[in-house]
Structure 1
Amino acid sequence: MFDFAWSKKGKVESIMESISADITKLHISKLAIEKAISMVAKAVAKSEFVVQRKSGRVKDDIYYMLNVRANENETATDFWIEAIKRLLAETECVICRIGKNLYIADSWNVDTSVVLKQKYTNIVITSNGNSLRLDKSFYADEVIHLRSRNEKIKVYLKKVLGQYDKILDALSEAKRISSTPKFELRTQGVQQIMRTKKPDGTEKILTEDEYKNNIKKLLTSDKVEIIKNQDALSVGELKITNNVSTEDLTKIAHEIFVECALAFDIPKAVFLGEITEKADSTNEFITYAVSWVVEVLNDSLNAKLVGQTDYLAGEKIWIDMSGYKHVDIIESAANLDKLRAIGFSLDEIFRMVGWEELGTEFSTQRVVTKNYTNDLTEEKNSA
């Protein structure tokens, strides 16, 4: 016991400090990952899933399923937030369509077919934390299998998981070390002569190891004992302290948040809340962090819910992210006026800013005139 405390005191303290620092880093990393994933997931969930038929945009059963209620127990917003979180955190998410409902799969088995359609079996779906194992199997065109190919996210998540292993090893070592009390023998920097009395009353000079063994016997004895130290020698219990300061935690948090933002392609200013130009930062966030997720969803929904024949005929499902951005009507009045003048209908502009479409003959007309009329001759005459 004293050999370890005598020669490796520094190691004992470094292990405890390492555990404290690593646990702090792990908590901050988990917080950073959760924040990054939530930012992307909420951006997608807030956007509109547009169902476009040959006649134009429609609001049918599929639109309702994608935008309002994914299944009997989950709203579309909650559903898509959970789906995107799984896609980013677990690198894949399987969604099953059962009738007019969508469900996220907790677990599944899929065969390794390359040429033929893959078959999904032993599927367990979940809704609001409740699970159900399905008896039927599904083929690839019956499920929406979202996959993430973002290697940076995989590397970062693997790094955080590696921290788990490191901390568990350190905790195991610390538990072994701290299972019994640890003491240190202080010699005041000078090698002392340690003596003890033999049964016949004569003195015996002890080596350092012999002296430590005698103290160990006294400390581990069940009887009441009195320890008499030599001059300038003392025995004290080791005190393990944590030297991680608030300033250190702030630096660690900033470093981890920046690293996490880079892994998820989120602009640092957006992730840290240091936004100066809101419009530019939002555009960068959508372009680099969200757009690839949107494309994965667009491709998957068109392949599984629309199909090749209807897609080639002009029908499609796509995510309109214009509703994600906040539009100040007063500040944007001049730009909205310009959109109307170059041919956008009033309903289209209303849709962009999140207002309800009027659906009138006037609001659906497209005009290219500064007078907002479809009589172009009037503008020519006035010129």
Structure 2
Amino acid sequence: MWDLDIFGIDLEQRAYLKKTAIETCINFIGRTISLSEFRFSNNGKKIKSEWDYLLNVRPNTDQSAADFWQDFVYKLLHDNQVLVILTDTNDLLIADSFNRVEYAVYPDVFKNVVVKGYEFKKSFKMGEVIHISYNNEKFTQFLDGMFKDYTELFSRMIETNMYANQIRAIAGVDSNTKLDDENRGKLENFIDRMFNAFRKKAFAIVPQIKGFSYEEITKGVKNEGRSVEELAKLKKDLTSHVALILGIPTTLLHGDMAEYETALKAYIKFCIKPLIKKIQDELNAKLIEKDDYMNGDRIKIFGVAEMDPLELANAIDKLVASMVYTPNEVRVMLGNEPSTDERLNKHYFTKNYQELDSVEGGEKEK
């Protein structure tokens, strides 16, 4: 009997738990950035550029702008860096892998650039590509370390929950039965069939066989497992950890409406704006010549971080009425082009804003 197999279930590494947390958080940011509009301007006024179509409509033959920028952000956050090359056919492609050769006083060079399984033979200098590093070591370390503990715990909780009410039994052989290879094989086959019947089916019948005995030992035994709510709580907790590292308020991810507006403002300010600044700075450095930049040419990203003008109507009125900003300056802050009406370039103030010395007191004495 010592050679009989002992049945057990190996603890699985559930990769989908890690993938779910990453996909939820990174794609949340990616979808936000994909709403952006890239504008070329000169001294605040929008100008036409050959890059408009590539950045806002069709970066390459296989992707729309929304899909491209969502993949761009995913690669940046997941791999901690992203490389975009411009092909001879004027397509912007996101590299799947590459080797970076760093130099102290010369521009770095990117070699062995691979896109969709195709490796480019040429090397690309830093000035020829769009390259951004996320520089978030906490996120990388978390992915490499913490997920192992969480997946093991999650797997243990699932197994405990699945087998909380499993049927346990003892299968034996009569002492008078000869335990030769043939009978031992029959017994193992009987145990295999019995195990599969109870594991895969809700109801099973075990026949009584002469020489073999079967006895359940779970009667009266209380088996307690983890509830489904606890499993969901663990997944939610893991997703929240990833979100906090990336700067996403957990309220937005989990759909909690309490303090939604406050969470949204924090998300835009501390997560989206820094990311937009990175992308905007890289595009200005690579797509605009130094002399043009000094003459007022800019690439700005709109459509994400701007506030709703209807929500700021009172604040806008105060800013203009107090002579702090002109109407055109306010339009630029809200993501709109300056108006050509010269009256919007002037400062205005209402009668409520006067110098202290100019305010007269009560009635003058006659």
Corresponding position of 2:77: 88
C-alpha deviation, 1:3, in angstroms: 5.7
* SS in structure 2 of the partner of residue 71 of structure 1: coil
C-alpha deviation, 1:117, in angstroms: 2.1
TM-score by length of 2: 0.68
Change (3 A) 1:155 1:298: same
C-alpha deviation, 1:297, in angstroms: 1.4
Selected match of 2:299 from 317, 328, 331? 317
Corresponding position of 2:34: 45
C-alpha deviation, 1:318, in angstroms: 3.7
C-alpha deviation, 1:248, in angstroms: 2.5
Q: Is the 8 A contact 2:44 2:332 kept in 1?
A: no
Superposed, 1:105-120 pairs within 5 Å as 105-120=95-110
Gaps of 5+ in 1: 171-182, 188-192, 199-209
- Of Structure 1 and Structure 2, the greater helix share is in 1
C-alpha deviation, 1:86, in angstroms: 0.6
Corresponding position of 1:218: 186
Q: 1:184, 1:44 → 2: CA distance?
A: 57
C-alpha deviation, 1:153, in angstroms: 1.4
Q: 1:144, 1:234 → 2: CA distance?
A: 69
TM-score by length of 1: 0.66
Is 1:32 the counterpart of 2:12? The answer is no
Tell me the amino acid that sits aligned with residue 61 of structure 1: E
Q: For 1:131-153, what per-residue CA distance to the aligned partner results, in whole angstroms no more than 9, with x for missing partners?
A: 65544332111011111211121
Change (3 A) 1:226 1:115: same
Q: Is the 8 A contact 2:174 2:211 kept in 1?
A: no
Corresponding position of 2:250: 268
Q: For 1:188-234, what per-residue CA distance to the aligned partner results, in whole angstroms no more than 9, with x for missing partners?
A: xxxxx973278xxxxxxxxxxx79x8852433589xx95414xxx63
Change (3 A) 1:227 1:351: farther
Farther-moved stretch of structure 1 (50-59 vs 74-83): 50-59
Q: 1:50, 1:102 → 2: CA distance?
A: 17
Farther-moved stretch of structure 1 (343-352 vs 109-118): 343-352
Q: 2:4, 2:296 → 1: CA distance?
A: 76
C-alpha deviation, 1:256, in angstroms: 1.4
Selected match of 1:143 from 119, 129, 135? 129
Corresponding position of 1:360: 340
| Identical counterparts, % of pairs | 25
Q: 2:268, 2:329 → 1: CA distance?
A: 21
Q: 1:197, 1:33 → 2: CA distance?
A: 58
Farther-moved stretch of structure 1 (302-311 vs 251-260): 302-311
Tell me the amino acid that sits aligned with residue 266 of structure 1: I
Q: For 1:40-85, what per-residue CA distance to the aligned partner results, in whole angstroms no more than 9, with x for missing partners?
A: 2222232333434357543422344333332354332221111111
Is 1:296 the counterpart of 2:278? The answer is yes
Corresponding position of 1:259: 241
* SS in structure 2 of the partner of residue 145 of structure 1: strand
Corresponding position of 1:327: 308
Q: What's the C-alpha RMSD, in Å, of the aligned pairs? A: 4.4
Q: 1:347, 1:74 → 2: CA distance?
A: 36
C-alpha deviation, 1:304, in angstroms: 1.7
Q: 1:334, 1:120 → 2: CA distance?
A: 51
- Of Structure 1 and Structure 2, the greater strand share is in 1
Question: How many residues are matched?
Answer: 319
Tell me the amino acid that sits aligned with residue 218 of structure 1: K
Gaps of 5+ in 2: 157-167, 191-207, 359-366
Corresponding position of 2:350: 370
Tell me the amino acid that sits aligned with residue 368 of structure 1: Y
Q: 1:358, 1:310 → 2: CA distance?
A: 20
Tell me the amino acid that sits aligned with residue 219 of structure 1: L
* SS in structure 2 of the partner of residue 367 of structure 1: coil
C-alpha deviation, 1:121, in angstroms: 3.1
Selected match of 2:114 from 124, 135, 158? 124
* SS in structure 1 of the partner of residue 54 of structure 2: helix
Q: For 1:253-284, what per-residue CA distance to the aligned partner results, in whole angstroms no more than 9, with x for missing partners?
A: 22212222122221222222224333321221
Tell me the amino acid that sits aligned with residue 107 of structure 1: S
Change (3 A) 1:195 1:150: same
Change (3 A) 1:317 1:164: same
C-alpha deviation, 1:93, in angstroms: 1.1
Change (3 A) 1:251 1:279: closer
C-alpha deviation, 1:162, in angstroms: 4.4
Q: For 1:78-118, what per-residue CA distance to the aligned partner results, in whole angstroms no more than 9, with x for missing partners?
A: 21111111111122211113475422122333334333222
C-alpha deviation, 1:310, in angstroms: 4.2
Corresponding position of 1:306: 288
